Amino acid sequence: MDKKPFNAFEMAQKQFDGVADQLGLGSAVRELLRNPLREYHFLVPIRMDDGSYQVFKGFRVQHNDARGPCKGGIRFHPHETVDTVRALAMWMTWKCAVVDIPLGGGKGGVICDPHNLSDREQEAICRGWVRQVALNIGPVQDVPAPDVMTHGQHMIWMLDEFERLRGGRFPGFITGKPVGMGGSLGRTEATGSGVMYTVREAMKELGLDIARTTAAFQGFGNVAQYAVRLYRQYGGTAVCVACWDQKDQTSYTFRRGSGIDPDELMGITDKFGSIDKEKAGSLGYEVLPGEAWIEQDVDLLVPAALENQVTGTNAPKIHKRVKLIAEGANGPTTIEADKIIRGRGIFLIPDFLCNAGGVTCSYFEQVQSNTNHYWGLTEVLSQLDFKMTSGFKAVSELARKKNVYQRDAAYMIAISRVAEACRLRGWV
């Protein structure tokens, strides 16, 4: 770990500031876009199963809604901070803008650990969270979704509470719902698939045959699971995956030179993405330290876990063979690591483009829920592929034209679109 404590919001603002200078943004629009429009901080008191009471801290941050209702997930995590939520909300604004969907950026969270909570206690937290912000969110204001350690069942509890309070049926209030309850086909695999759509296009640009490449993945939650699956369908070989072990409170890398099998690993993975290391060993996987994923002799690295994972400390360990990094997670690469990656000429697909498949399909779900008309899987994935491919090509073309880093090019497109929306509304 780097010595200075990591602050995701400071990193997000520094990324913004660097591109704002290149775009020549005025002081008013800079101030407006580098900070959230509004924030909600609140407490969620819960009666626990043993009869005691516990108070959880919750947040909802709405960064910018000039282009449309705020959109962003709710994560349950014991180490959640408001600065992390602020950063994620800001990145959501750029994410929606770079793939050109009419939404703004928001994010929410609760400081809690679902591993240590019963289903009833989690339901109570979900309903309590909604009660605190019910007047400030909704289909035309701010549309939540799942994020780290939340899933479709949490969304249904939240939807049910919102509808009780509002006195009606509002399926477009929240996305990530189960299919059959207003959810969209394709939503589960959308983020991971979107990652691989951009990887596919990047490899074409780099002149690489994806079927002859190898990759290392960090994370084995929803994003990585589906990204690995599609990468294998394209013919690539995923040699390892790293993930957190809840029992040992540490991370491990599971490696097999001939290629990992995501379906096989899913059979020994809990609902939070932790792989049983003893069973993995019996299946022929090497069990290595968690950091080992970044040192692998591969063509592609896919950080798909949490923020602050590729740092100034471990970025120098990236193997010389690596040609491409696809940021499946939000904010996985620090400013210091970015300088190293840029200096080495590694092609990078920035997070708010690379993992935009999730919010894009969430937008599709929102449209379907609001119109009460649902699409088939082929239509969803086709539309998703089109949006992700179009977004990638626009960023890549600008990067070449301006001779700038891919992350800067993505920011230029996103920030320009949001700044123009603010100008047209007369805000700045």
d(CA 275, CA 427): 49
Give the DSSP letter of residue 333: B
pLDDT average, residue stretch 248-253? 90
Pairing of strands 250-255, 286-289: antiparallel
Q: How many CB atoms lie within 10 A of CB 304?
A: 33
Q: Structure pTM?
A: 0.92
In this structure, the chain runs to a length of: 428
Amino acid identity at 88: L
For range 45-54, the mean pLDDT: 98
Q: Which residues of 390-402 are buried (b: 16+ CB within 10 A; e: fewer)?
A: ebbebbbebbeee
pLDDT at position 1 over 60: no
| Residues labelled as active-site residues | 107
- The three-class DSSP label of residue 206 is helix
pLDDT confidence band for 368 (50 / 70 / 90)? very high
The answer to whether residue 2 scores a pLDDT higher than 60 is no
254-291 pLDDT tens trace:
999 999 999 999 999 887 668 998 999 999 999 999 99
Domains 37-176 and 188-349 share a fold: yes
What mean pLDDT is reported for the chain? 95
Superfamily of chain region 188-349: NAD(P)-binding Rossmann-like Domain (3.40.50.720)
Q: Is there a contact between 322 and 340 (Cβ–Cβ < 8 Å)?
A: no
Token pair belonging to 40? 């909600």
The token duo for 11 is 């990193």
What DSSP designation does 67 have? S
- Span 339-352, mean pLDDT? 96
Cα angle 221-173-152, degrees, rounded to a multiple of 5:
25
Give the rounded distance of the alpha carbon of 329 from its chain centre: 5
Distance CA 72, CA 221 (A): 18
> Which residues are CB-neighbours of 113 under 8 A, at least 6 positions away?
76, 77, 78
pLDDT in tens, 227-245: 999 999 999 999 999 998 8
Q: In sequence order, what E strands does 80-134 have? A: 104-111
Residue 32 has pLDDT above 80, yes or no: yes
Cα separation, 413 vs 428, whole angstroms: 19
Domain 37-176 is in which class? alpha beta
Above pLDDT 90, what percent of the chain? 92
Residue 151 CA, distance from chain mean position: 14
Query: What pLDDT, in 10s, does the model give residues 109-163?
Result: 999 999 999 999 999 999 999 999 999 999 999 999 999 899 999 999 999 999 9
Residue boundaries of the structural domains of the chain: 37-176, 188-349
Q: Is 428 exposed, middle or buried (0-12, 13-18, 19+ CB in 10 A)?
A: middle
- The predicted structure's pLDDT at residue 4: 67
Question: Is pLDDT of 356 > 80?
Answer: yes
